[in-house]
Each structure stands twice: as structure tokens, then as C-alpha cells.
Amino acid sequence: MWAQVINTILGIWLMVAPSFLGETAAYADNGHIAGPVIVTFAVVSFWEATRNVRKWNYPVAAWLLLAPWILGYTETWAIISDMGTGILVIIFASVKGKVEGSFGGGWSSLWKDNPAHMQQ
């Protein structure tokens, strides 16, 4: 869970960085869209049953790596901020964390005689 807390902080950084570093429209808009998405996926993946949602941050992080060139950033600090955040989000989204319980097995449990979530 610690890795998802760090991803939450990184998402918040994306939202507030344009205010601290100086704002350009493309950089600010990108941070105001990507930041809340990263925070949402990270917070949802705090719990064991939804731990795999952490992987949904991969496409957002990949976008952060490409955004400086697609959106045409001109400031070096904006490029470093987005790319550095993207790399860190990929790293911390890759940390699975400890899963202690079993949560039913999904759709495959429908075809089992005695699925784990029905046992007492």
C-alpha cells in the first residue's frame, strides 16, 4: 500500500506543480487531467480486493512520458516534471503489495462446486 500512497502524492504533485513552477496552458491542463486520474486509481488500489487497479495507471504514466512532445512543451522544468512523474508512477504502480485474503475468484467461481467465498 505504501507505493500507492506515493502514487497519490505524485498525482497531487501533477495538480499543484503548475502553480509552483509557473504555468503554461498545456502543462497545467495536462496536470489537471492526469493528476486526478492517477490519484483515483491509486486510492482505489489501497484495498486488497481492488489491488489490480494500480495497473490502470500505466497508460496515464505512458501519456506523461509522451505528453511533452505531443503537446509541445517549451519549458525544460515541465518536461522534467511530467517525465519524472511518469517514470515514478510506472515504478510504484508495479509494486503489487501484500494480499492476505481471497475474494471469491471472480467469474470462474460460478463454475466451481465449493468456491472460496462460500466456505465458512
Q: Tens of pLDDT along 51-68?
A: 889 999 999 999 999 999
Closest residue by Cα to residue 27 from 70, 59, 87, 56: 70
Q: Amino acid letter at 115?
A: P
Q: Which residue has the higher pLDDT, 25 or 63?
A: 63
The residue with cell 470462474 is 108
Q: How far is CA 51 from CA 23, 37, 48, 64, 108, in A?
A: 34, 16, 5, 22, 19
Q: Is the pTM of this model over 0.75?
A: yes
- Range list of H helices, 22-56: 25-44
C-alpha cell at 7: 502514487
pLDDT digits (tens, 9 = 90+) for 76-101: 899 999 999 999 999 999 998 777 76
**Among 46-50, 51-55, 100-104, which is the least confidently predicted range?**
100-104
